[in-house]
């Protein structure tokens, strides 16, 4: 018996797991679910594959759960696992009191969550297929879609959700193939294994990926110099102790209601709402402004040291900002005038990423300790890196030129770019008129349903979850954002089912 057309999930990383969990707990199950992914580590994506235990998740457990209405789901899984295995390992950060488990352990959670969701779907009559191939084309076929894989196999689908994940780091200095150049640091256990204990290492970038490289080298006993080199030299902020605060003004519900009424919101109005939020919580916009100004004005080491000393700071301002921007960003972004969006991206994007994607205090302590021993430096104003004919590299920055034995590329994959592996599929969708490229990268999607938008009309058949939607929705990474959008997509798809007959509504357009 052939599997009936159902939902095709193209990609099997963390975003797919969030979607599966949401589908499995909906009011009814879809007829079928087909997951397409050729990765050797299904459900883990690039970030959570088996790797060094030195790499930890950067967010508290409630922000890592794949369950929309279950903030305790991940921490509950950790507790159950420890009870079953008798594992007494404590992953709690001593400064913040937040557990930050190893990234690979979180990958185990994703795997088990995916299996649990598939089991629930199967128990409700949903047919399950796992296709270990990439999808290279989607072809409209009457009332359905045909997914064509890299081997030419064809699968009938009623809906398709693009969960293609992130790309790989760019190579801005053209160093690919040069001896000693590490193009992508993950998995660090394998990619950094060849670095000598005394090698002089330059890490390109200063974000969370660069922090991972430093942590990995430190755990492996590296004693050579390490320099984090980037254009701005801005480190991630240091996460503070958790704060219980329910947003009252800067809320997704407020901005969704404005969108439903056809209203817009200027950047100035959004700032006023944030100011009201902070004032109600006993903070002020001035306190947040000081932290924003420090991103550019304060030396990286001074800022790192100061923020480590502020982990238990009683002012809630920064923590409210860190919660509000990822939670509400996609909802307010579509209401802003285009001029305001351009201003945010050009003037404030790096600052927002630094403040709203913080590192655990334990990671910051390691960085500070290495810096105070003279093993770690921070260099802004990076201009160029060239490979030397006899081996090694010349790194030219504002402070002069230095030699390096190894260059590790820790530039974050651009959230707005199409991952190279997904380019054949995305190109075919655009060519067939099923998708429109967004000028800021990725594809145009609808805020309410994440359906692909062409000629101003959202698709009811094809949706995008994750970085492909970054041009339209701004903040699309991070598990909370993935969960929120997964709920939107699952609801949009399941609303097209006929509750009485339990069958797809035949009047829905193909795309």
Q: Where are the domains of the chain?
A: 7-166+415-504, 181-236+360-409, 252-356
Give all strands (DSSP E) within 183-291, no chain letters. Answer: 201-204, 226-229
Tens of pLDDT, residues 4-54: 689 999 999 999 999 999 999 999 999 999 999 999 999 998 889 999 999
Tens of pLDDT, residues 364-418: 999 999 999 999 999 999 999 999 998 999 999 988 899 999 999 998 776 567 8
Tens of pLDDT, residues 286-299: 989 999 999 988 99
Give the Cα separation of 216 and 211 in Å (integer).
9
Give the Cα separation of 429 and 224 in Å (integer).
48
Q: Which CATH number fits domain 7-166+415-504: 3.20.20.80, 2.60.15.10, 3.50.50.60, 3.40.449.10?
A: 3.50.50.60
Q: Residue 100 phi/psi, 5° resolution? A: -125, 85
Q: Report the share of the chain in percent with pLDDT over 90.
A: 74
Fold for the domain defined by 181-236+360-409: FAD/NAD(P)-binding domain (3.50.50)
Average pLDDT over residues 241-269: 92
For residue 306, give both structure tokens. 């100061």
The residues, any chain, with a CB within 8 Å of residue 16's CB and separated by 6 or more, are 9, 35, 37, 43, 114, 161, 163, 465
Beta bridge partners of 387: 393
For residue 62, is pLDDT > 90? yes
Give the Cα separation of 418 and 409 in Å (integer).
19
Cβ atoms of 37 and 12 within 8 Å: the answer is: yes
Average pLDDT over residues 173-187: 94
Check residue 414 and give its pLDDT. Answer: 66
Its pTM stands at: 0.92
Give the Cα separation of 72 and 312 in Å (integer).
23
**Alpha carbon 129 to chain centroid, angstroms:** 26
DSSP string of 431-492? HTTS--B-TTSSB-B-TTT-EEEETTEEEEEEEE-SGGGHHHHS---SHHHHHHHHHHHHHH
What length does the chain have? 511
């Amino acid at each position: 018996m052939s599997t009936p057309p159902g939902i095709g999930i193209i990609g099997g990383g963390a975003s797919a797991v969030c979607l599966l969990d949401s589908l499995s707990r909906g009011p009814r199950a879809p007829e079928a679910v087909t997951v397409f992914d050729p990765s050797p580590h299904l459900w883990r994506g690039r970030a959570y594959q088996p790797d060094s235990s030195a790499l930890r998740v950067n967010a508290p457990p409630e922000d890592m759960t794949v369950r929309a209405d279950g903030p305790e789901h991940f921490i509950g899984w950790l507790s159950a696992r420890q009870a079953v295995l008798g594992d007494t390992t404590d992953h709690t950060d001593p400064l913040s009191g937040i557990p930050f488990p190893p990234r690979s352990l979180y990958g185990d959670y994703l795997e088990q969550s995916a299996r649990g969701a598939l089991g629930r779907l199967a128990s409700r009559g949903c047919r399950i297929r796992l296709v270990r191939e990439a999808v290279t084309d989607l072809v409209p076929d009457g009332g359905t879609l045909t997914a064509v894989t890299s081997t030419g196999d064809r699968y009938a689908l009623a809906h398709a959700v693009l969960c293609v994940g992130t790309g790989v780091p760019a190579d801005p200095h053209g160093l690919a193939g040069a001896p000693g150049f590490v193009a992508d640091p993950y998995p660090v256990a394998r990619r950094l294994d060849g670095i000598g204990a005394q090698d002089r290492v330059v890490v390109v970038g200063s974000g969370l990926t660069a922090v991972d490289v430093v942590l990995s080298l430190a755990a492996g006993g590296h004693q050579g110099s390490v320099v984090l080199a980037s254009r701005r030299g801005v480190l991630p902020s240091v996460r503070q102790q958790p704060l219980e605060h329910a947003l009252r003004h800067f809320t997704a519900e407020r901005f969704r209601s404005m969108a439903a009424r056809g209203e817009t919101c200027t950047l100035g109005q959004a700032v006023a709402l944030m100011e009201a939020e902070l004032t109600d919580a006993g903070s002020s916009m001035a306190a947040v402004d000081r932290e924003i100004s420090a991103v550019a004005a304060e030396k990286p080491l001074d800022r790192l040291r100061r923020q480590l000393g502020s982990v238990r700071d009683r002012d809630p301002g920064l923590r409210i900002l860190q919660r509000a921007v990822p939670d509400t960003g996609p909802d307010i972004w579509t209401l802003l005038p285009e001029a305001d969006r351009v201003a945010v991206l050009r003037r404030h994007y790096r600052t927002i990423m630094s403040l709203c994607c913080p590192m655990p205090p334990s990671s910051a302590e390691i960085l500070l300790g290495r810096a105070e021993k003279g093993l770690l430096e921070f260099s802004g104003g990076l201009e160029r890196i060239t490979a030397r004919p006899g081996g090694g590299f010349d790194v030219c920055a504002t402070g002069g030129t230095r030699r390096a034995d190894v260059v590790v590329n820790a530039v974050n994959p651009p959230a707005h770019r199409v991952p190279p592996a997904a380019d054949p599929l995305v190109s075919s969708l655009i060519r067939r008129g099923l998708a429109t490229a967004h000028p800021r990268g990725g594809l145009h999607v609808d805020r309410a349903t994440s359906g692909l938008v062409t000629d101003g009309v959202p698709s009811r058949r094809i949706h995008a979850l994750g970085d492909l939607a970054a041009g339209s929705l701004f903040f699309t990474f991070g598990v909370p954002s993935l969960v929120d959008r997964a709920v939107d997509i699952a609801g949009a798809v399941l609303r097209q089912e006929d509750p009485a007959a339990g069958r797809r509504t035949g009047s829905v357009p193909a795309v």
